[in-house]
Amino acid sequence: MTDETLRRETFPAGILGAGLGTVERDVPPDEPPPLPPNAELALIGKPIPRINGVAKVTGATRFTVDVSLPGMLHGRILRSPLPHARLRAIDVAAAARHPGVRAILTIARPDDPDASVVRYVGAPVAAVAAVSPNAAEEAAALIGVDYEKLPFVTDMDAAREPSAPPVYPPGAAPPGHPSGYPARPDLPVNGNVRGPATDHRGDTAQGFAAAEVVVDGEYRTQVQTHCCMEPHAIVADWRDDGLTVHMSTQFTAGVRQELAAAFGLPLGRVRVVVDGMGGGFGSKSQLGAYGRIAVVLSRQAKAPVRIALHRDEEQMDSGNRPGTWQRLRIGARRDGTLTAISLVSYGTAGVTVGAGVGNNAQALYACPNFESAQHDVFTNGGPGCAMRGPGNTPGAFALEQAIDELAERLSLDPVALRDRIDPSRARREERRIGAERIGWQRRRPPGADAGPVKRGLGMAQSIWGANVQLNAGCEVRVMRDGSVEVLSSAQDIGSGIGTVLAQTVGEVFGLRPEAITVRIGDTEFPGGGPSYGSRTTASVTPPARTAAWRVLSVLLREAGLALNANPADLVARDGRIMVRGDAARAMEFRAAAARQRTDRISAVAYRSDDYGGFKRRMGDAALAHEDLGGVQFAEVAVDTETGVIRVERVVAVQDCGRPMNPLLLESQVQGGVLMGLSYALFEERLLDPHTGWMVNPNLEQYKLAGARDAPAIDVVVLENYQGNSATDAYGIAEPSNIATARAIANAVYNATGVRMRALPMTPAAVLAALGKVPARS
């Protein structure tokens, strides 16, 4: 950098407890001074309870499904009962005669070649808006549809066959997907297979030739559904002067842009609001078909329209984590040095794309020779979408078992092998802490227990890019009465970003978090970026601190005049502004605010580049240099007579840069571990092979981990300072989910000596792997 306006600052850098030092960074002039390590701070890094906790425990939080507007209508979507069909005719006359109906929309249309074919059970066909949910249900059932059945395929392996029924005619397959990998628009499509998206470095042929040991395995992962407890929901209110949408969304600002583009409205006439947000996990990142439908119905009916998906719609058509097949080969020398990694993957996101397996194999370990070929396979299943650690979660299942297998072949401890091949400082420290916490020295050879219940220990690692949204912003205001507001369109997906913003701003002003009014989840405020990619904290806390610091600078000038002091000598602490080292010369924060001539002091700040620059930029987003590492250890007991795996304990050691709130981070990591455990043992979307219907579109036979399935979870979060931004904080949601299933799988291997190469690891699968299921006669 040669920009002379930048100022040189010294930041804390390194991992607390493992070499905390400093780093010099060039900082833009309007950004605050370096934030000291957490130990020196009042609020940041402290376990502050959620500021909206009272609303949540009393039922006062207003979720989208709770929004009720005067004159509001209820929308219902009619969905395809067939996995592949062409519409011959659609008749809405009877529905239109229903006395409660106010608007009808046909989505699939026989006369429109682009919209005449439905490709999965649950695909939207038509929609109605009516005066009550029951009326909407009744009216939707009156819509007559004449389908011509087309051949279909739901199984990925079958869909790969050249003779398989084509999900799309030639040239009609959807292009790149905004999330997920591979996302390249220019990939070849052969039959139902799109790709490969390839990646390589070095020469893998040479690398395998130089290998002394090669492990080679095939792995399968199932389709997982998001199962947000609040269904996808929207209340669309189309007025002549603009569109207001209440939506359970992970990205208010993004939905606003989608709406403006889809309906030809200026951004200033579109407002998107979310208060309570009942879970998203990737599936509420976009407007979605149901969102567009609600807006069209509202425009047509001239009344607000609510659509809240039913649970079976959630399961069939609100996104899912694609299923995968992977073949992974790894070559190594006797000392553990990796010589080559080769990955081939096929994944299916149903009718859409984005079923790659991420970058764990590419990036987690040092290896000079790498090649990958990833393919999307179209099937007549509901569309996949991003889900907590997309790609990497299934990808790590293969990689981390392969590394475990390699360690055994090399007679190396899995932790010791990783110490040799993993360049990450953070994960080295995480392995050290985790091994100590779980009691790794207790680990015995595979299958060491003599009795039917066999115990074992396993560990696995993860990598996740440290994502940043560059156009994320925040406004901070101090009103004349001393009250403080922080405003951003960022939404609280459940991680508690509002609380973290209150801590960030309170820290600057020397006020308690309760003194900060947090207004978020509304596009009337500066765009706060999305709550996906584990980027909210990384994106919105630096501008919050920057904006607060700019406001404080103005306040300190006023206070300096009042206290007859140089503003540079003033500090804000404990609700007062005082001269550093002279507590007697002080004034109330409120008194300083009251000296303002204007009704408020306000500043809007946006996320600046990481001070040390980025690894990569992608439009409005960027990746920090250092990835977010995680290491998890699991202890399991496997009943080899019932096939039941009981996860007794998980130690999760995670990195998110500067941890902002250990209480909330612990919640999030526990959630990541439990979602990973549930993925490992229970969950699976099951499509009937003969009809394409999901047979378990509920929360009963789609099995989710409950309280009695939860192990003891020990959470450790590193303090890993990098001097990258005003807060130096990154996210943790996805990193905490990626390693769990493979840590459990490795522990199951250690317990039983049998490697589970497919998910979920049900009693049926375990008994089969143990050779206990008789062949059918």
Partner 1 sequence: MQRPLSRRALLRGSAVMTTEIGMAKVAFAAGQEAAEQGAAAVGPDAVPITLTVNSVEHALRVEPRATLAETLRGPLGLTGTKIACNHGACSACTVWLDGLPVCGCMTLAIEVGTRGVTTIEGLAMGGALHPVQAAFIEHDAMQCGFCTPGMVMSCAALLARTPAPTEDAVKAAISGHVCRCGTYPHVVAATLAAGARKA
Partner 2 sequence: MQRFAWMSARTVSQAAAAATAITAELMTRPADATPTEAAIVKAGGLDVLDLLKENLLAPARLVSLREIPGLDVIAEEAGELRIGAMATLARVAADASVGQRYPALADALRSAASPQIRNVATLGGNLLQRPRCWYFRAEAFRCLRKGGGHCFAHGGENQYHAIFDNQACAIVHPSTAATVLVALGASVTLADAGGATRRVLLEDFLVGPDQDMQRENDLRPHEILIAVHLPPASPDAGMAYLKQGQKESFDWPLADVAVVLERDPAGVCKRARVVLGAAAPVPYRAARAEAALTGRRVDETLAKEAAQAAIQGATPLSRNGYKLPLFATLVRRAVLQAEAG
**Contacts with partner 1, residue ranges (CB under 8 A):** 49-50, 52-63, 65-66, 68, 134, 226-231, 276-279, 281, 310-311, 493-496, 663-664, 666-668, 670-675, 698-700, 704-708, 710, 712-713
Site for partner 2 in 126-155 (CB under 8 A): 134
Query: Using the rule CB under 8 A, which residue among 179, 257, 667, 691 binds partner 2?
Result: 691
d(CA 709, CA 699): 15
Shortest reach from residue 248's CB to partner 2, in Å:
23
CA-wise closest residue to 236 among 60, 63, 61, 67: 67
Q: Per rule CB under 8 A, is residue 773 in the interface with partner 2?
A: yes
Nearer Cβ to partner 1, position 450 or 707? 707
Strand order in the sheet with 144-149: 117-118, 85-91, 144-149
Per-residue DSSP letter, 737: H
* Cβ proximity to partner 1, 231 vs 347, nearer residue: 231
Considering only 643, 663, 729, 744, the residue that binds partner 2 (CB under 8 A) is 643
Q: Is there binding between residue 712 and partner 2 (CB under 8 A)?
A: no
Backbone phi, psi, residue 514, to 5°: -65, -25
Q: What is the dihedral of CA 515, 520, 526, 531, to 10 degrees?
A: 130
Q: Which CB sits closer to partner 2, 323 or 543?
A: 323
Select from partner 1, partner 2, none the partner in contact with residue 19, using the beta carbon and a kind-dependent cut-off of 5 to 8 Å. none
Residues whose CB falls within 8 Å of the CB of residue 638, separated by 6 or more in sequence, listed in order: 453, 454, 455, 456, 644, 645, 646, 748, 751, 752, 766
Using CB under 8 A, which of the segments 98-106, 243-251, 658-666, 683-691 binds partner 2? 683-691
Residue with Cβ nearer partner 2 (299 or 310): 310
User: Quick one: 191 or 521, whose CB is closer to partner 1?
Assistant: 521
Q: Which of residues 304-363 bind partner 2 (CB under 8 A)?
A: none
**Nearest distance, CB of residue 681 and partner 2, angstroms:** 8
What backbone phi and psi angles, to 5 degrees, belong to 718? -65, 155
Question: Does 80 engage in binding with partner 2 (CB under 8 A)?
Answer: no
Is 763 a residue that touches partner 2 (CB under 8 A)? yes
With 0-12 / 13-18 / 19 or more C-beta atoms within 10 angstroms meaning exposed / middle / buried, residue 512 is middle
Binds 81, which of partner 1, partner 2, none (CB < 5 to 8 A, cut-off by type)? partner 2
- Report yes or no: 13 and 721 within 8 Å, Cβ to Cβ: yes
Q: Cβ(295)–Cβ(105) under 8 Å?
A: no
Shortest Å distance, C-beta 667 to partner 2? 19
- The yes or no reply on residue 709 touching partner 2 (CB under 8 A) is yes
Beta carbon nearer to partner 2, 315 or 537: 315
Distance of closest approach, residue 239 Cβ to partner 1, in angstroms:
24
Residue 643 contacts which entry, partner 1, partner 2, none (Cβ below 5-8 A, type-dependent): partner 2
Amino acid at 61: T
65 binds, among partner 2, partner 1, none (CB under 5 to 8 A by kind): partner 1
Tell me which of partner 2, partner 1, none is bound by residue 85, counting a contact when its beta carbon lies within the kind-specific cut-off of 5 to 8 angstroms. none
Nearer to partner 1, 67 or 287 (CB): 67
CA 744 to CA 773: how far, in whole Å? 22
Of 696, 720, 724, 725, the residue at the interface with partner 2 (CB under 8 A) is 696
Helix axes 414-421, 425-438, angle to 10 degrees: 170
Whether the bond between 182 and the residue before it is cis, its omega within 30 degrees of 0, is yes
Q: How far apart are CA 294 and CA 246, in angstroms?
A: 11
DSSP string of 421-473? Answer: H---HHHHHHHHHHHHHHTGGG--STT---SSEEEEEEEEEEEE--EEETT-E
Please state, as a whole number, how many other Cβ atoms lie within 10 Å of the Cβ of residue 218: 12
Cβ 708 to partner 1 shortest distance, Å: 5
Q: Which listed residue (11, 589, 679, 682) binds partner 2 by CB under 8 A?
A: 682
Residue 241 vs 700, nearer CB to partner 2: 700
Q: Residue 767 binds which one of partner 2, partner 1, none, with CB within 5 to 8 A depending on kind?
A: partner 2
Could you tell me which residues are beta bridge partners of residue 462? 630
> If contact means CB under 5 to 8 A according to the sort of partner, which of partner 2, partner 1, none does residue 584 touch?
none
**Minimum CB–partner distance for residue 145 and partner 2 (Å):** 14
Task: Pick the closer one to partner 2 by CB: 681 or 726.
Answer: 681
Nearer to partner 2, 14 or 671 (CB): 671
Pairing of strands 189-190, 320-321: unpaired
- In this structure, the number of other CB atoms found within 10 A of the CB of residue 232 comes to 27
d(CA 636, CA 404): 16
φ, ψ (nearest 5 deg) of residue 12: -65, 140
Nearer to partner 2 by C-beta: 99 or 266? 99
Using rule CB under 8 A, residue 688 touches partner 2: yes
| Min CB(71)–partner 1 separation in Å | 15
| CA diameter of the chain | 95
Nearer to partner 2, 251 or 693 (CB): 693
Q: Is 768 in the site for partner 2 (CB under 8 A)?
A: yes
Residue 335 and residue 308 in contact, taking contact as beta carbons nearer than 8 Å: no
Among the listed residues 386, 559, 705, 726, the single contact to partner 2 using CB under 8 A: 705
Q: Which is nearer to partner 2, 416 or 764 (CB)?
A: 764
Q: Which of partner 2, partner 1, none interacts with 103 (beta carbon under 5 to 8 A by kind)? A: none
Tell me if residue 405 falls in helix, strand or coil. helix
246: closest CA among 270, 226, 267? 270
Instruction: Give the whole-angstrom CA distance, residue 537 versus residue 616.
Output: 19
The contact set with partner 2 (CB under 8 A) reads 81, 134, 641-644, 646, 681-682, 686, 688-691, 693, 695-696, 700-701, 703, 705-709, 762-764, 767-768, 772-776
